Amino acid sequence: MKDTALVPVRKLVSILVIVLLLNQSIPAQVAAGQAPAAAQSPAATQAMPAQIRTAQKIFLANAGAQTGFPYDSSVAYQQLADQLRAWGRYTLADTPAEADLIFQLKSAAPIGGVEVYDGRGASYRLPRLELTIVDPHTQTPLWVLTENVYSPVRRKDKTDWFTVAVANLTTKVKELAGAPVTPAETAQLEQFPRAGHRPWLYAVILGPLALGVAGGLILHHEYENSLANMKASQDAFCEANHIPLSECAGG
């Protein structure tokens, strides 16, 4: 007969394994060499339009956030606007009609993959900032810059890496415009969270799980012993009263 007492424990194990797999998914992407993306064009062979380097006024538009983006897209927009103003290469126009270029900032969160264990699956996302440079007269996308946004576990680390992502996007704009960048800005483009295991996470999640499984097995064993003792007591009573064991309760 199927041991129904252990079914909830098995379900719990499956769910927690999925959680741990998802927790390791993004670090695994980093370990595979997925550092912050370099400047990208809509077509790999397309030459960079000259107006990107000759433009003087830009209009920065907030294209919003995709479902699953772990940060406030308005914060990314404001930080990028502040950094572009501080750089001074472009003047930020008040309307698209006044601009030589439109910079559209999107906080994207594409699905990076799906993890499946014991018939159960869950997807994970790889958040990133996407800056599309658009010709305001033809509405044609001229170039796309992307920057991965890493999402570590600690809140402070999340804030730090979000700020790094926006700064890196600004650095890529500088490179695209042909402006000099500092060695520190170049080095920061290659920084990303270290991949690896988080022993404390396993201790927090698997520790109680192990105790729960052990406790469940002990209770199940005690329950079987209780049934055996009860039957032995009934058999002894029947034998003492010359009652056939087949007629005893539980016989």
Question: What CATH number does the domain containing 186 carry?
Answer: 3.40.50
Q: What is the DSSP string of 28-54?
A: HHHHTT-PSP--B-SSTTPPPPTHHHH
Q: Are 90 and 179 within one domain?
A: yes
Q: HSE-up of 158 (CA within 13 Å, CB side)?
A: 10
Per-residue pLDDT band at 183 (split at 50, 70, 90)? very high
Bridge partners (DSSP) listed for residue 144: 40, 132
- For 79-210, strand residue ranges (E) read 91-92, 101-108, 111-117, 120-125, 128-134, 141-148
β-pair partners for 44: none
- Percent above pLDDT 90 for the chain: 35
**pLDDT of the residue at 154:** 59
What confidence tens digit (pLDDT) does each residue in 191-224 have? 766 544 444 444 555 566 666 666 666 666 676 7
Q: Is 10 a member of any domain? A: no
pLDDT of residue 161: 81
Closest CA to 129 of 46, 32, 60, 193: 60
140 in the same domain as 53:
yes
The total of structural domains in the chain comes to 2
- Residue 129 and residue 149 in one domain: yes
Residue 12 maps to a domain: no
Domain that holds residue 235: 201-247
| Residues 124, 231 within the same domain | no
